[in-house]
């Protein structure tokens, strides 16, 4: 074989092998997250492969969900195992479909509304920041975080909870709350809550997504869609004003002290909506009444990237501990921890 032709064949073989090597490298890094390099381009590529092709999400697991006509779904009471690449946890769910004990449903002092971050996705039951806040303050804290709930559905959930002795409500926000909040303001619960058929279709789509096909990981690694694309569609000020409209529309919250905190993926603490919310409230006007009782807790100087998992966008136990301590400090400063 002529040398030139041999060289071309070798180069062609190498080019064909590169995708196989890249797919194998991604699979290796998913299996061993500690090996994922800190170099952002490669780290982010592995994270995209994980979240798009490998990520087991609780809200698509029929065994973990109970259909609910008002909320679309709640977590199914009892115990459920929830695992991913970086954790293996047990969720103990009470009669209201919340990750807390039954006693916390009766006359809680504090209620934490939120999504999977408040739930304690990836950490033990007692390591979630609502439970750590309870341990730090000695108050009864109800963890009302449910995966994928937006602010609007959190308000719907609040209407079924015991508010007889509540001192304050803590609202944990994530960027993907915005779509649900807009739907709520435009059309009420009918546009927010999914039907049992939609819930089943979501679970089926998730199972299909997790079914591996050749080079799935490589394709996902080059996907340019951000983890949460809301800021590509609207400004932080729009997201903040929408969240405030939802909160101000809830009669159950009137007169109650509120603490608002925004958690970002992978502990980045960018907090674009929290920052905008502070500015909107400071401008006064229509928000004067709410501004007097709503505190925005900023975590940019508290959380670090190491407080989140490498692949999974949620907080580790260290991040939950920091959030709980920051909340305890804010509540103490407002005099909300004093004995009654």
pLDDT given at position 159:
94
- Cα separation, 337 vs 291, in Å, equals 20
The mean per-residue pLDDT over the stretch 136-153 comes to 96
The mean per-residue pLDDT over the stretch 309-321 comes to 98
113: pLDDT confidence band, cut at 50, 70 and 90?
Answer: very high
- Cα separation, 112 vs 120, in Å, equals 12
CATH number of 83-194+225-333: 3.40.50.1110
Pick the more confident residue, 285 or 145. Answer: 145
Pick the more confident residue, 303 or 222. Answer: 303
In this prediction, what percent of the chain has a pLDDT beyond 90? 69
pLDDT given at position 283:
85
193-212: buried (b, 16+ CB within 10 Å) or exposed (e) per residue?
beeeeebeebbeebeeeeee
10: pLDDT confidence band, cut at 50, 70 and 90?
Answer: low
The mean per-residue pLDDT over the stretch 139-168 comes to 96
**Beta strands 65-68 and 72-75: pairing type?**
antiparallel
pLDDT given at position 42:
93
pLDDT given at position 238:
93
Q: With 60 as the cut, is the pLDDT of residue 13 above it?
A: no
The mean per-residue pLDDT over the stretch 306-322 comes to 97
pLDDT given at position 6:
58
Q: Which has the minimum average pLDDT: 93-97, 188-192, 194-198? A: 188-192
256: pLDDT confidence band, cut at 50, 70 and 90?
Answer: very high
On average, the pLDDT of the chain sits at: 90
230: pLDDT confidence band, cut at 50, 70 and 90?
Answer: low
Q: For residue 243, how far is the Cα from the chain centroid?
A: 16
The mean per-residue pLDDT over the stretch 102-108 comes to 98
Q: With 60 as the cut, is the pLDDT of residue 12 above it?
A: no
Q: With 90 as the cut, is the pLDDT of residue 188 above it?
A: no
Determine how many CB atoms are found less than 10 A away from the CB of residue 81.
11
pTM for this model (two decimals): 0.92
pLDDT given at position 4:
64
Q: Which has the minimum average pLDDT: 91-105, 131-145, 214-228, 272-286? A: 214-228
pLDDT in tens, 68-90: 988 999 999 999 999 999 999 99
74-78, Cβ contacts within 8 angstroms, sequence gap of 24 or more: 74/98, 74/146, 75/99, 75/146
Q: Using alpha carbons, select from 330, 151, 169, 145 the residue that is nearest to residue 241.
A: 151
192: pLDDT confidence band, cut at 50, 70 and 90?
Answer: confident
Do residues 121 and 319 lie in contact, with contact meaning Cβ atoms separated by under 8 Å? no
């Amino acid at each position: 074989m002529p040398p030139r032709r041999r060289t071309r064949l070798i180069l062609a073989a190498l080019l064909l092998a590169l995708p196989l090597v890249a797919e194998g490298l991604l699979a290796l890094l998913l299996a061993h997250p500690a090996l994922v390099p800190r170099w952002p381009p490669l780290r982010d590529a592995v994270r995209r492969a994980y979240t798009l092709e490998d990520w087991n999400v609780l809200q698509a697991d029929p065994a973990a969900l109970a259909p609910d006509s008002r909320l679309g779904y709640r977590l199914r009471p009892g115990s459920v195992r929830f695992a991913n690449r970086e954790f293996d946890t047990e969720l103990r769910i009470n009669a209201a479909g919340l990750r807390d004990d039954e006693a916390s449903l009766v006359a809680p002092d504090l209620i934490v509304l939120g999504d999977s971050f408040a739930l304690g996705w990836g950490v033990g039951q007692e390591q979630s920041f609502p439970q750590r806040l309870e341990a730090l303050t000695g108050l009864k804290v109800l963890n009302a975080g449910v995966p994928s709930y937006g602010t609007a559905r959190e308000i719907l959930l609040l209407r079924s909870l015991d508010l007889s002795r509540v001192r304050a409500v803590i609202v944990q926000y994530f960027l993907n709350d915005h779509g649900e909040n807009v739907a709520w303001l435009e059309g009420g619960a009918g546009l927010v809550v999914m039907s049992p058929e939609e819930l089943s279709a979501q679970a089926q789509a998730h199972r299909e997504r997790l079914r591996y096909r050749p080079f799935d990981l490589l394709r996902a690694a080059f996907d340019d869609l951000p983890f949460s694309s809301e800021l590509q569609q609207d400004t932080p000020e729009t997201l903040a004003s929408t969240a405030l409209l939802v909160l101000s529309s809830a009669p159950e919250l009137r007169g109650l002290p509120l603490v608002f905190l925004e958690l970002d993926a992978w502990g980045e603490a960018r907090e674009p909506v929290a920052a905008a919310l502070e500015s909107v409230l400071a401008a006064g006007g229509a928000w004067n009444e709410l501004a007097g009782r709503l505190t925005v807790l900023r975590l940019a100087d508290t959380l670090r990237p190491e407080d989140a998992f490498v692949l999974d966008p949620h907080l580790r136990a260290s991040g939950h501990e920091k959030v709980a301590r920051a909340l305890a400090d804010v509540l103490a400063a407002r005099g909300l921890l004093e004995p009654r």
